[in-house]
Structure 1
Amino acid sequence: MSIKIVFHECYYNSRYAMDPAASEGRLDGIMKIIKRKSEVYEIITPNPAGEAEILRAHGRNHCERVKQDTLLYELAVLAAGGAIMAAEKAYDGNPAFAVIRPPGHHASADSCWGFCHFNNMAISLLKLYSDKKIKKAFILDFDLHTGDGNINILENRDDGFIVSILNPASAERGNYLREVEAYMKDITDVDIFAASAGFDQGIDDWGALLYPEDYAELGRLMKEYSKKLCKGRRYAILKGGYNHGVIGLITDSFCKGFA
């Protein structure tokens, strides 16, 4: 099965911030491989998220603070729109990977840090929930850094939406993969699988832990258990990953298992 790659040429723009996620050339290695493998990947172009979609996850004051920087806001709502498109494609039965930035899993309702501004994952899942498509979701957040924004917005909600989140903690690669599978084996009722796909845990990145084949296994596990539990509905959103020389290879490895 081919994967829908959600991407907009505007994501190449590095002028919106001065941080490792926004650095020049970071997405080039990913998109070079994707564009070369047209038989595997189908690139689809998103539209910006609307303000109402942003406000499902964030307070108005936070939204207004981001809006003060015109370029940052333009990229942030486009990234949120990309996450929504990936979620909707996944719900319709098409595995999707959103190659977007800025990332978002450190953005809480009224604050943000860690190169994040709007919580793309929360915005996308809340769109599906608002549309009455899903009631329960599972997030595998394999970024090096725990996605506190995901937790703050999506766990322990009072509106009936149930979201479980795994941020694997194992410091040995074999145990890391076993931790993920053990968690998935215990899931019994879920409507969609989503991944905060941070590749900074890679052996050649900040975390120095996971190899390309480990990312392929993470993708495979998401595929296997989403097929068992929710008709294969699954999507992933790019988060961390800062070694420009390997991020394309690692993304491709993940997608091979995920497809």
Structure 2
Amino acid sequence: MKIVFSPKFYEVYSSDPAAAPGRMEAIVNELKDYEFVEPERASEEDILLVHTRRHYEWVKSLKLFEIAMLAVRGAIKAALISFEEPAFAAIRPPGHHASPDSCWGFCYFNNVAIAVRKLQRLGKIRKAAIVDFDLHFGDGTANTFENDEDVKYFHMKDVESISEFLERVDFDVIAVSAGFDRHKEDWGNQLETEDYTEIGKIIKEYAEEKCEGRRFAVLEGGYNHKVLGKNVRAFIKGFE
């Protein structure tokens, strides 16, 4: 199990909660016993796998452009690692509210969507399942793949619903939009820390059964720093 991370993700690039100081430190401090690997910067070609040139140029005009490009490559690196072992991309900005030509909700480029498209472009996969357990529906990811029969996006309703989804679809890899804001002490006030371990176990089980274990996860939401790191670690415990 590898953690994809760069110290550059400590940068406070805006005033939104995803960019808050201490957020990434809370995660990294809980994962120190894992192997960390650093991503390179994404290319323009990577972004254009999903986004329009107009959208790319708009993000390019923002102060956070370089960190957003690094986040994209972090997701791609985790996707590529998944062919050898599971991987978790501890990156920001998040991405699941980024559609091909628009974005909102602290997102700029759709990290998971680009990573899946990259695997397709490289000929490594044809079909993918995307499981999103963030509190919020990943409209950007859904919009990206709405006309693509080979990529199925699923936003978790409850823990058991993940099994129902993965049972009925075919895939060559499972990509995970891992948001931790459903926690009892976060915005959603729904899940216990142990529930994230169960989510990880379910995804691992279906990956091993249906796609030779290929699975990777990418950080989305999660805003209470007191519990965020513990929740990420709990998920990884089940996922690895």
Would the TM-score normalized by the shorter structure come out above 0.5? yes
Shift of 1:93: 2.5
The aligned residue for residue 254 of structure 1 is 235
Shift of 1:182: 1.8
Q: Which of these residues, 78, 82, 92, is aligned with residue 86 of structure 1?
A: 78
In structure 1, distance between residues paired with 2:198 and 2:58: 39
Q: Answer yes or no: is the 8 Å Cα contact 1:108–1:149 preserved in 2.
A: yes
**Structure 2 runs not aligned, ≥5 long:** none
In structure 1, distance between residues paired with 2:48 and 2:88: 23
TM-score, normalised via structure 1 length:
0.91
> What's the Cα RMSD here?
0.9
Equivalent residue of 1:49, what SS? coil
In structure 2, distance between residues paired with 1:168 and 1:83: 20
The aligned residue for residue 40 of structure 2 is 47
Q: Percent identity?
A: 49
Q: Which of these residues, 9, 20, 30, is aligned with residue 11 of structure 1?
A: 9
The aligned residue for residue 25 of structure 1 is 22
Q: Does residue 1:182 correspond to 2:161, yes or no?
A: no
Q: Answer yes or no: is the 8 Å Cα contact 1:97–1:236 preserved in 2.
A: yes
**Structure 1 runs not aligned, ≥5 long:** 170-175
Query: How many aligned positions are there?
Result: 240
Matches within 5 A, 1:30-109: 30-35=27-32, 37=33, 41-69=34-62, 71-90=63-82, 92-109=83-100
In structure 2, distance between residues paired with 1:34 and 1:182: 30
TM-score, normalised via structure 2 length:
0.98
Matches within 5 A, 1:76-225: 76-90=68-82, 92-157=83-148, 162-169=150-157, 176-187=158-169, 189-225=170-206
In structure 2, distance between residues paired with 1:83 and 1:152: 19
Q: Deviations over 1:148-193 (max 9, x none)?
A: 0001112313xxx611111123xxxxxx122111222223x21000
Equivalent residue of 1:48, what SS? coil
In structure 1, distance between residues paired with 2:211 and 2:173: 6
Q: Deviations over 1:21-43 (max 9, x none)?
A: 000101111101111x2xxx110
